[in-house]
Structure 1
Amino acid sequence: MPDFLYHSRRLLLSYSIEGLLRFMYWRKKRRRSGAQISAGTSLAEPIPEHPQSPEDFRPLENTCFQNPYRFYAMLREQYPVYRLQNGIYCLSRYSDITDVCRNTELFSSTHQGAIVGLKPHQSVVEEGRKQDRLAALGLTPCDVLAVADQPQHSNDRKVGHKGLNSRFVKSLESEIETQCRLLMDKFVDSGEVEFMQQVGWRLPMQIIIKLLGFPAEDYDKIKYWCMHTISTQSGVASSVEVAKSRAEILVFIRYCWQQLAIAKNHPRDDLCGVFVSAALDPSNPMTDQQAVSSIFQLLVAGSDSSATSMGNALKLLIENPEVEQEIRADMSKLDNFVEEVFRLEAAFQGHFRWTKTDTVLHDVELPAGSRIFLMWAAANRDESVFENPDKVDLNRANGKRHLTFGHGIHACIGRELARSEIRIVLREFLLRTKNMTISGDAPFVASMFAHTLQKLPLRFDVVIAESHERAA
């Protein structure tokens, strides 16, 4: 009876709030009547090609989205703790970021959903508590895995690792290869593809859906929900867009609850079953809410990070033909190239932390509750760590020291799966195509959080089948 009452109330509240958000979206959109300026459009004076002052770094403008790295270099050199107009402090140096990652007593990973849209009079702690109450009701995701603090984080990670350890990922390689070849079979003879739609987004999502044991036909709606979830962290979404995205997240969370219930009623040996077992184990502190949130987080991460890196990998390969030729001559160098892709084009440009107590960084006072953006992508090109940091170097000795998967206890548990997926896709393209070119515009999504290609149109010549057979 308590479970019945809990879920009845959860559904009633979820549908009610969804309806309110959709009404708000409709009303705001109607008021604006098409006059809204699209996100990422620059309204200020042009950004200089070689930035010299912090005012030149305007991370919510399109120029910065498309190529943020010269701005990151300026911050690393001159403004290691830089405060944006919205009050968020940006850290860009490798050593500062790794120090923060290791100091979990001072810097919290929780309340990520409250950080970006926080207003000047609001407290991250108080807004985070409001979110915690909604999460306890089963309406929104709670802080788990990448956004949990100790001691909960260790348990979340232990549970997740059971389903995503390196041995298990290794066993998936034949399945990833099969899925990749099936996708390529649909377009390879045509000599062209819009990579992001036909492969980049689709393959990682198909894999994570299968690992969780969810219906394959749910791909389109899960991808749609993940897109809305990520957009709330972009920093440029309007209040109209945020209202719509939050409504879609409510639907997404209901779906995750539904899938958890199915897995409870019909036990199975998959990744969802791992979380079900943990939630049912009286000796394990994982709750149903945390299990649902873990599933939600894995779907969102699985939908975007690998897709982003795949697209960026092919783009980098085409833009560096000498590197492509070097890999074609020695395919063992493909692993090193994948690490260079992660380093040079981090899928997520950074993640947030907030200060639990007052502290000082580089003589900048950070009061308790200060929001911090750890700029993985800036640290990945730190000259003090990586020699010739803007260059693709297949012989880089410390290539795996990049921070694309985070650092410390919050290093991404899906990193080996991402490596495997991207390596296999690149290998299949190298084996089955040649003379690849980018055949149209390949802009990045408007976001200070994710560095994702909106599209990547490719043309290529087809390699005769026997080359493909050798890898089968």
Structure 2
Amino acid sequence: MQDFLYHSRRKALSYSLQALLRYSAWQIARRQSKSPPKIQLPAVANPQTPEDFRPLQAECFQNPFDFYRVIRDEHPVYQLPNGIFCISRFEDIVSVSRDTDNYSSSHQGIIAGLRSGASVEKAGAKMEKIAEMGVIPSDVLALSDPPKHTSERKVGHKGLNARFVKGLESEVETLCKTMMDEFIDSGRVEFMQQFGWKLPMVLIIKLLGFPEEDFEDIKGWCVHGISTQSGISTTSELMYSRSQMMVFMRYCWQQYLLAKKKPRSDLSRIFVDAATDPQNPMTDAVAVSGIMQLLLAGSDSSATSMGNALKMLIDNPNIAEEIRSDIDGNLPPFIEEVFRLEAAFQGHFRWTKNDCELHGVKLPKNSRIFLMWASGNRDERVFDNPEKIDLQRHNGKKHLTFGHGIHACIGRELARTEIRIVLKEFLLRTRHMRIDGEAPFLASMFARTLITLPVVFEPANTTPAGEKLI
């Protein structure tokens, strides 16, 4: 009876809040459509200061690395126009990541869209109450602090440890080859839509025991989830995306309750077991949130890294040829360079639990912080010739792409495995790859995601004898 009442209230509140958010998003968009369009300042021809780069305008996100270098060198703690402080140097990022007493990982779902000056703590407390009702995701795994995080991470590791990932290799290879068979003879693929987004998401859906036919819906919800972290979404866009996340949360609840009713051997079972273990503090609502986080992070980060990796191979045919000469030896260090140079997530958010100071800049309690993994990855204080692809780099795995400290990504070995298998197949089965059209990046502080990557190629089996694959 208690469960029935909980889920009845959960669903009623979820539908009500979703309707309210969608209506508010429509009203705001309607008002904005009647207002004069906002005038964006033109880009500066030779930017010298951080402001010259127009850091929150779309064009900056196509190649933000000069902006990162300027703030890293001259403004290591830089406040964006939206009030968020950017931490850009490698050692500073590492230091903040380790300092969980002063810098919190919680409430990341609201940090990007919070108005300047608002209290993260107060807004987060309101969200926590709604999360406890199972309507929105709880702060879990990457979004929680010790000691809560410690027990949650143990649960996640049960499902994504190195031994488990190693056992998946043949399944990933089969899926990759099957998907490539669908387009290989045509000599053309829109990589992001036909392959990049699809492979890792189909895999994680299967591992969780969710219906594979729900792929398109889950993909759409994940896109909305990532957009809430962009830092540049309009209020109406943010409200609509959050309304879609409520739909996603209801879906994850539905699948979780099915797994709870009929136990099975998949990743969902691990969360069910944890939530039903009286010795484990994990609740059903937290377990559902953990599953949702696996779908969000697992799909986007792998898809983004695959696309960025393939683009880097196409843009650097000499590197592609070097890798082909010794695929098993050269491909793994190349993948680490992809992670370093084109981090799928450009950074993650934090907020200050106490008054802090860094490089003489005061960070009052409740300041919003953005740890810039992608900037730290190109910090010349740590990496020699940081802009160069170096397959012999001695500290290539030192990059921050999978985070640092207690929040280092638990799915990193799965991501490495997926990308290695995919790139190997493309290198072996294609030649003369080139980009045929536009390959723009999503405008976002958070994600470094290619929107499209149209690739044309020749199938490798048509290579004349003795001709090199390039």
Name the TM-score, length of structure 1 as normaliser. 0.96
Does residue 100 in structure 1 map to residue 104 in structure 2?
A: no
Structure 2 residue identity aligned to 1:122:
A
Structure-2 separation of matches of 1:238 and 1:283: 43
Q: How many Å apart are 1:240 and its aligned residue?
A: 1.7
In structure 2, what is the equivalent of residue 245 of structure 1?
Answer: 241
Q: How many Å apart are 1:334 and its aligned residue?
A: 0.2
Q: Residue 461 of structure 1 is aligned with which of 455, 458, 464?
A: 458
Superposition map of 1:10-25 within 5 A? 10-25=10-25
Structure-2 separation of matches of 1:339 and 1:47: 33
Q: Could you tell which deviates more after superposition, 116-125 or 320-329?
A: 116-125
In structure 2, what is the equivalent of residue 31 of structure 1?
Answer: 31
Q: Residue 440 of structure 1 is aligned with which of 437, 440, 444?
A: 437
Query: Secondary structure of the equivalent of 2:349?
Result: strand
Structure-1 separation of matches of 2:424 and 2:430: 10
1:207-263 CA deviation, whole Å, 9 max, x = no partner? 100110000000000000010111111112112211211111110000011111000
Q: Is the 8 A contact 2:158 2:270 kept in 1?
A: yes
Q: How many Å apart are 1:190 and its aligned residue?
A: 0.3
Q: Residue 221 of structure 1 is aligned with which of 205, 208, 217?
A: 217
Structure-1 separation of matches of 2:179 and 2:298: 18
1:292-337 CA deviation, whole Å, 9 max, x = no partner? 1000111001121000000000000111111001001111210000
In structure 1, what is the equivalent of residue 274 of structure 2?
Answer: 278
Q: How many Å apart are 1:54 and its aligned residue?
A: 2.3
Q: How many Å apart are 1:59 and its aligned residue?
A: 2.1
Structure-2 separation of matches of 1:366 and 1:184: 50
In structure 2, what is the equivalent of residue 386 of structure 1?
Answer: 383
1:365-391 CA deviation, whole Å, 9 max, x = no partner? 111111110000000000011100000
| Identity level (%) | 62
Structure-1 separation of matches of 2:398 and 2:339: 10
Q: Is the 8 A contact 1:353 1:374 kept in 2?
A: yes
1:155-194 CA deviation, whole Å, 9 max, x = no partner? 1110000000011001001111111111111101000100
In structure 1, what is the equivalent of residue 467 of structure 2?
Answer: none
Does residue 84 in structure 1 map to residue 80 in structure 2?
A: yes
Q: How many Å apart are 1:466 and its aligned residue?
A: 11
In structure 2, what is the equivalent of residue 470 of structure 1?
Answer: none
Name the TM-score, length of structure 2 as normaliser. 0.96
Structure-1 separation of matches of 2:216 and 2:160: 24
In structure 1, what is the equivalent of residue 366 of structure 2?
Answer: 369
Structure 2 residue identity aligned to 1:417:
L
Q: Is the 8 A contact 2:224 2:245 kept in 1?
A: yes
Structure-1 separation of matches of 2:63 and 2:69: 12
Closer, same or farther: CA 362–121 of 1 in aligned 2, 3 Å: closer
Closer, same or farther: CA 52–466 of 1 in aligned 2, 3 Å: closer
Q: Is the 8 A contact 1:42 1:61 kept in 2?
A: no
1:396-442 CA deviation, whole Å, 9 max, x = no partner? 11000000000000000000000000011100001110110011100
Closer, same or farther: CA 34–202 of 1 in aligned 2, 3 Å: farther
In structure 2, what is the equivalent of residue 452 of structure 1?
Answer: 449
Structure 2 residue identity aligned to 1:249:
M
Query: Secondary structure of the equivalent of 2:245?
Result: helix
Structure-2 separation of matches of 1:36 and 1:284: 55
Structure-2 separation of matches of 1:195 and 1:59: 28
Structure-2 separation of matches of 1:317 and 1:115: 35
Structure-2 separation of matches of 1:436 and 1:124: 47
Q: How many Å apart are 1:394 and its aligned residue?
A: 0.6
In structure 1, what is the equivalent of residue 290 of structure 2?
Answer: 294
Two-structure CA RMSD over aligned residues (Å): 1.6
Does residue 424 in structure 1 map to residue 421 in structure 2?
A: yes
Closer, same or farther: CA 34–429 of 1 in aligned 2, 3 Å: farther
Does residue 412 in structure 1 map to residue 394 in structure 2?
A: no
Query: Secondary structure of the equivalent of 2:362?
Result: strand
Does residue 230 in structure 1 map to residue 226 in structure 2?
A: yes
Q: How many Å apart are 1:446 and its aligned residue?
A: 1.1
Q: Is the 8 A contact 1:432 1:465 kept in 2?
A: no
Structure-2 separation of matches of 1:136 and 1:92: 34
Q: Is the 8 A contact 1:309 1:422 kept in 2?
A: yes
Q: Residue 258 of structure 2 is aligned with which of 252, 255, 262?
A: 262
Structure-2 separation of matches of 1:33 and 1:336: 49
Gapped regions of structure 2 (runs ≥ 5): 465-470
The count of corresponding residues between Structure 1 and Structure 2 is 463
Q: Is the 8 A contact 2:113 2:238 kept in 1?
A: no
Query: Secondary structure of the equivalent of 2:385?
Result: coil
Does residue 163 in structure 1 map to residue 166 in structure 2?
A: no
Does residue 196 in structure 1 map to residue 192 in structure 2?
A: yes
Structure 2 residue identity aligned to 1:280:
T
Query: Secondary structure of the equivalent of 1:214?
Result: coil
Q: How many Å apart are 1:121 and its aligned residue?
A: 4.2
Q: How many Å apart are 1:33 and its aligned residue?
A: 4.1
Q: Is the 8 A contact 1:176 1:421 kept in 2?
A: yes
Q: How many Å apart are 1:43 and its aligned residue?
A: 1.4
Q: Is the 8 A contact 1:42 1:62 kept in 2?
A: no
Does residue 55 in structure 1 map to residue 61 in structure 2?
A: no
Q: Is the 8 A contact 2:43 2:53 kept in 1?
A: no
